[in-house]
Amino acid sequence: MKETVKRTAWAAERPRVKSMVASFAAAVLLGQTSLAEVTLVDKDDWKVNMYGFLENDFIRDSTRSFTDLMGNGPVALAGTVNGDNGRTQTSVRNSRLGFSAWAPAENGWRPRGVLELDFFGFNPGPSTNPIAVTETGAPGTVTVNDTTVPNTEAAYYQNPVPRVRHAYASLESDNWKFLFGHTWSLFGWQPTYVPTSVSIVPLPGNVFQRTAQILAINTIKMGESSNLQWGLSLERPSQRDSQMPNVAYGIKYSLDSWKAGFANFWQEEKAVPASIALSGNFKQFQAQGMDLTSQSQSKVNSAAYAVDLMLPLIPASADDTSNALTLTAEYAAGTGFGDALLGWTGGFKQLPSGAPTGFNPLGNTNLDAGQGYFDNNGNFSLLQLQTYLVNLQYHLPKSVGAFIVAGYGVTKSTTIDTTISTTLNAVSGLYSSSTNYYVSYWQNITKTLRLAVEWDHTKTQYADAANSSPSNDRVQFSTYIGI
């Protein structure tokens, strides 16, 4: 009897399920939706959406410095095989798939869950030169376990590994949002001010990080057309051995009556409020002290701040971005936030290797590269960092369906600039800055299909080489189909 009831229920639901699957297939294959999301379930105040895009990148570089993602990595020196020869790549690794689910509201609060994936999972770049490195420094010789993991080009590009971009639950009301899980950091008030580029973001000058956290944001109405938001989050510690979570904070003012035309690389052009934001973070690190007979570690604190701007130079109307010109800008400075600058290391290796000097007392300090280091005297210090970027978007008339973007960004370490000749003794391989500028053209073919082409020029400032400013020119053509 129970089996009959189940079969009858399934028979009743089958047409609706078939209709939902057919609608989804049509949306994906025929492009009959905007670059937004597809509703899979909308019943009894439950709503489940699917969103994402398929991206195909065709990339030509003038050097062999990068994979498909440049980030803040260094350009290979001229006079080397990698610095004097180019590379061509194709990649679909930046494609994405996400699901969001809204549960029924209770007492004015609406629960939501989000899971989003891309294909940048751990998959070492292709290498033909696996090596073991031995470095020498006070007080002795340290063998560094830095053997490059070999990988094939076919495996890297043709078998991309899924990765979690967002995985969180949130609880939202009219004025409050509480979030628990892995998503954008509040530092830099991301992703509002992430620049638009055909090259996979981030590029130099851009604070860019997603991490596990507990976040609270409050929105205060300041009148008919303006809002003030403030937020606070406890985030995954940059160094787990510090025993303390990172603390991020931010405040943002938005003016809805002053609209900026804006589009990121895969979503439709839209009018967004002009805004300005101030954010920052506090962190604690722990490192082995000079007393090698003690197992105690000293604490080192860091602080950083960021200022972000979304400014309509030529405003957009509420429903039309035609002829709108928008400036987005960011400046960030402080210590210890190298982990928010993807690909940045400054030439330092991950501790406990002790690089670059080989000195890491007792090997008891563990830290990802680009945040802190030991000098020749055994002193642990955090890198002083600065970033700045500007990004311009001009939106052609709506009938053309296109926009143009130009950008400039710099990531630099004043620590390497000022101490390379003293406490680091001109250690080989250190670089003090990464600079990038680019221009791109974006053309909407249909509501779901977009084509784009970009030229990038990236330069690295090395601290110790005769030819200390090598550069790379990248031309990238990409296609995007969104769901």
pLDDT in tens, 167-204: 999 999 999 999 999 999 999 999 999 999 999 999 99
C-alpha distances (whole Å) from 64 to each of 84, 420, 474 are 8, 27, 11
Q: What angle do CA 56, 59, 65 make, to 5 degrees?
A: 130
DSSP symbol at 242: G
Q: What is the pLDDT of residue 50?
A: 95
Q: What is the pTM of this model?
A: 0.85
Longest dimension (CA), the chain: 85
**Is residue 46 a contact partner of residue 103, using CB atoms and an 8 Å limit?**
yes
Residue-by-residue DSSP string for 21-57: HHHHHHHHHH--S-SSEEEEEEETTEEEEEEEEEEEE
CB proximity list for 437: less than 8 A, separation 6 or greater: 406, 407, 408, 409, 456, 457
Distance between CA 185 and CA 367 in Å, rounded? 20
User: Residue-wise over 471-481: b if at least 16 C-beta within 10 A, else e?
Assistant: bbebbbebebb
Strands (DSSP E) contained in 354-448 are 372-374, 380-382, 384-395, 402-413, 431-444
**Is residue 344 a contact partner of residue 331, using CB atoms and an 8 Å limit?**
no
Distance between CA 2 and CA 470 in Å, rounded? 73
Regions of the chain where pLDDT drops below 50 = 1-13, 16-35, 128-148, 354-358, 421, 426
**Is residue 411 a contact partner of residue 72, using CB atoms and an 8 Å limit?**
yes
Number of CB atoms found within 10 A of residue 399's CB: 7
Q: What is the pLDDT of residue 290?
A: 60
**Is residue 353 a contact partner of residue 362, using CB atoms and an 8 Å limit?**
no
Q: What is the pLDDT of residue 9?
A: 44
C-alpha distances (whole Å) from 483 to each of 29, 116, 449 are 10, 13, 10
Q: What is the residue whose two structure tokens read 């403030």? A: 230
- The domain covering 51-482 belongs, at the CATH homologous superfamily level, to Porin (2.40.160.10)
Provide the β-strand partners of residue 137: 140
**Is residue 230 a contact partner of residue 251, using CB atoms and an 8 Å limit?**
yes
First-to-last alpha carbon distance for the chain, in angstroms, is 42
The helix/strand/coil state of 442 is strand
Distance between CA 58 and CA 40 in Å, rounded? 32
Distance between CA 21 and CA 254 in Å, rounded? 39
Distance between CA 214 and CA 46 in Å, rounded? 24
Residue-by-residue DSSP string for 285-316: EEEE-S-TT---EEEEEEEEEEEEEEEEEEPB
Distance between CA 373 and CA 384 in Å, rounded? 11
Provide the β-strand partners of residue 275: 254, 310
**Is residue 420 a contact partner of residue 462, using CB atoms and an 8 Å limit?**
no
* Residue 356: cis peptide before it, omega within 30 degrees of 0: yes
Q: What is the pLDDT of residue 149?
A: 53
Distance between CA 420 and CA 72 in Å, rounded? 20
Q: What is the pLDDT of residue 34?
A: 41
